[in-house]
Amino acid sequence: AENLSDRVNNLRNTLRSTIFTWVARGLFERHKLIFLAQLTFNLMKRGVIGGDEWDETSFQFLMKGPMNMNVPNPITWLPDNSWAMCCALSDLEDFGKFTSDLVEASPRFREWFNAIHPETEKLPIDWAGLDRRPMQKMLVTRCLRPDRMLTTLTSFIRNKLPDGSNYTECDATLNGLEILDQCLQDSTPKTPVYFILSPGGNVVA
């Protein structure tokens, strides 16, 4: 790096990636994205990444998925739980018109809803602008297509973290034995490798 600031940032990014790799190798596959999401959101909350995009209210909505069951669902193609969550979303300051727009532009929202990969498509009418605010767009996906949240969250993390694909695709090209070989290379006689096995766990699977 040409200056001290760049060198420090490079060291931080490398250290963060290395520690993540070591920790992720000790997690079940289903827990890796949870850990990675915690890492990403904590860095955003501290202002390390994401600029001023962090919004605590949006984060709490994303985690809890609140519902407002008091308003009858007027949209035949939309599941009741999704409508209830949309009603709760409209209580947030930036989404006050969301349910009314959803009803008025129902055919266009249905096209987005029925898309194979809706998270990559622009939302209808003025909500297309949420492409510039991916954290807020995730809230809409959370409401309308919760089945796409794993893919949406993975893409969000990949774009937010420096060299994000190194995290979301960590060890993706290695089999169990190759990962063990990497662990052995990272160890020394003074830093042994421990295996804590759960029932049914197989370190070479």
Q: How far apart are CA 183 and CA 154, in angstroms?
A: 25
In-domain check, residue 183: no
pLDDT at 204 over 70: no
- Give the pLDDT confidence score for residue 195 in this predicted structure: 75
Query: Which whole number is the average pLDDT over 125-137?
Result: 95
In-domain check, residue 61: yes
Report which of 150, 87, 76 is spatially closest to residue 113, judged by C-alpha positions: 76
Cβ(78)–Cβ(136) under 8 Å?
no
- Give the pLDDT confidence score for residue 10 in this predicted structure: 87
pLDDT tier, 97 (very low <50, low <70, confident <90, very high otherwise) = very high
Cβ(107)–Cβ(56) under 8 Å?
no
Q: How far apart are CA 84 and CA 61, in angstroms?
A: 13
Q: How far apart are CA 148 and CA 142, in angstroms?
A: 8
CA distances from 202 to 172, 176, 180 (A): 17, 9, 12
The pLDDT mean for the chain works out to 90
b or e along 164-187 (b: 16 or more beta carbons within 10 Å of the residue's beta carbon)?
bebbbebeeeeeeeebbeebeeee
In-domain check, residue 15: yes
Structural domain range at position 141: 4-173
Quote the number of domains for the chain.
1
Between residues 191 and 203, which one has the greater pLDDT? 191
In-domain check, residue 202: no
Instruction: Compute the radius of gyration of the chain from its Cα atoms.
Output: 21
pLDDT tier, 7 (very low <50, low <70, confident <90, very high otherwise) = confident
**Model confidence over 56-89: pLDDT tens digits?**
999 999 999 999 999 999 999 999 999 999 999 9
16-30, 149-163, 188-202: least confident range = 188-202
pLDDT tier, 153 (very low <50, low <70, confident <90, very high otherwise) = very high
pLDDT tier, 205 (very low <50, low <70, confident <90, very high otherwise) = low
- Residue indicated by tokens 């890796």: 32
